[in-house]
Structure 1
Amino acid sequence: MINDIEIIKTEATKINEVDFDNLAFGSVFSDHMLECDFKDGKWHAPKVVPYHPITLDPSAKIFHYGQSVFEGMKAYKDAKGDVYLFRPLENFKRLNISSKRLAIPELPESYFMDGLKALLEVDKAWIPQQEGSSLYIRPFVFASGNGFHASPANAYKFVICTAPSGAYFSGKVKVLIEQTYSRSANGGVGFAKAGGNYAGQFYPTQLAVEKGYQQVIWTDDTNHEFIEEAGAMNIFIRINDTLITGPTSDRILDGITRKSIIDIANAEGIPVEVRKISVHEVVEAAKNGTLKEMFGAGTAAVISPISGFGYKDSDYDLPELDNTYANRLKKIITDIQTNKSEDPFGWRYKL
């Protein structure tokens, strides 16, 4: 527990310039940020400061060797104005799992949690109350130490920035099952939220967009035989009444929304299978009419329905259903997040 976190408040708030009824995702930033430095072999006390640019030496190792990890979280306000987080300790644990894989020093829990609470208290007014809106929270750690030698840095910076945001996606997306490029490989860093994982996705996604798709379905790196993730999200596939998602591995992120959906589905009596699912199985299900739904799951969008997919120059449309698992599960999870329902799982964290 950190008793005293230094707080330096901005001299002039930007909040009056923001149209909270028309918020794009992650493009407007709150007044303050949290900063914490690792140097001389230890993490120093975090502090809340005005949002500002970060100045780095050109030799800072983040530019050359890519030591950078991040998380995505949200804060919500209920009808009474109370503020809630959703499973924040899971984000803290995963940040340290990612950090360890990239040889970044792990953070103390109190620095993450107490620093986050202090930041949200200062910028509480930035948490929107409009339906579907939230305060997106981006904790990240990167190598700030200098030097061209290919080795871990001797200094790092932990930052939390926040951005009031509306809904991440609107409508359904059409996806392309990838047959050439891979998101990650066995023994790699696919399970970590490393910045480079996402940079490597951009080019194949651009190629898919040029073909008329909005996103890519990633497959395994060996034979492109098994479905793994959807863009930057975990993926769920419904065949008949069974919901299927791949097991986590070196290549697949242990998504917090993913495991929440699995627990909710089990509680709701929805059959769930966590297993490998082949592209062939999905294509055959689409052909014989047993493929009912596909959707991505992640913090930003919660659940993003997929309207159809392309594979080997053929397109397959999913049926229009009146009562989808996607809508049902999204309502349950967002009602928990925004304090509109009971929380039988103990996931909601009140500030």
Structure 2
Amino acid sequence: MAHAPHPLATLQQILNTPSSEDGVSAEVEADLRVAGCMLIQEAGIMLGLPQSTMATAQVIFHRFYYVSSLYSFGVNDISISALFLSTKLCETPVRLRDLINTYLFLSARVQYLLNKPSDASLISSSTSGGSWRIGDSQSVKGKEKEQDPIWKEFKFEVPSFHDEVFWEWKDVITANEMQILKRLGFNMQVDLPYSHMINYLKILDLVFEDEVAQMCWSILNDMLLTPMYALHPPHTLACASILLTTRLLRIPLPEGWYILFDATYDDIWLCCGHVMRVYNDWGIEPPRGALTSGLGIGGHGQNQEHGVGAKENRWRRAWVLAQSRKAVRRWLEEREKGQI
């Protein structure tokens, strides 16, 4: 049997990631993966890149941290390098200066939020679905976006053409791009599940059902925040998006339907669980149209105020540690001193 073109992490890599061997907990590693993928998605949207390019970059990002440690490679550095590499792989070129300016803008926004008092809310009053976005929210338009109180005092100046920061970032991207290629064995093949999902919906006669295809697509995008793309083949991910969509929309499926697509129920249910955990832990709204009453996701449970505070603390910690590998090392050293 021929090997799958999409390389997946081995069981040993999953159980003992390089980051865990350096003392990074599984929870922190998962949060930093989310932070890095959010950064890729935001930058890609601002640069007008197609979803396939952003998805490829996020898959490469996840695969990289199954062979390398967060202790040795910073999240921001690898995310921007993975996105630049993806633009080449997907033949959607972007000017390096535009990419760097976009990352500088997003980094400035993150730092602006981190500089706010610890008791200040980070949630936008103009939108709930885009509350945790650091770029321009897609759900807020026109004057609403301009009047968002969170960004009222935010200012950003594009560096001059000959500014030293550009050359510093250029060296970082070049070096980390080579690290990604070397550590992944130059195997950059990424098979995305979007086309599989559409074909499966056609077979199940769901492709023309209201909101089903769009919600499946959105769930596959949200799944990129989890390591599932590096752990399961694309047909399993496609089945997981269909299962979660039909559950959220209360649409029944034939018994054993997933067997037709060579997937197992345990695998697709595991993928669904990871997506739901991201919704709950990060306060991300589920896809529009989902019937989520009683599910307790998106930060609307009984202890909403406490839940929002926990999510904001999680957000702050992730973005502080994502800034550089030095931040991760300092955090590990401080934790070790505290334990002593």
What TM-score do you get using the length of structure 1 for normalisation? Answer: 0.27
Which structure has the higher relative contact order (CA within 8 Å, separation 6+)?
Answer: 2
More helix per residue: 1 or 2?
Answer: 2
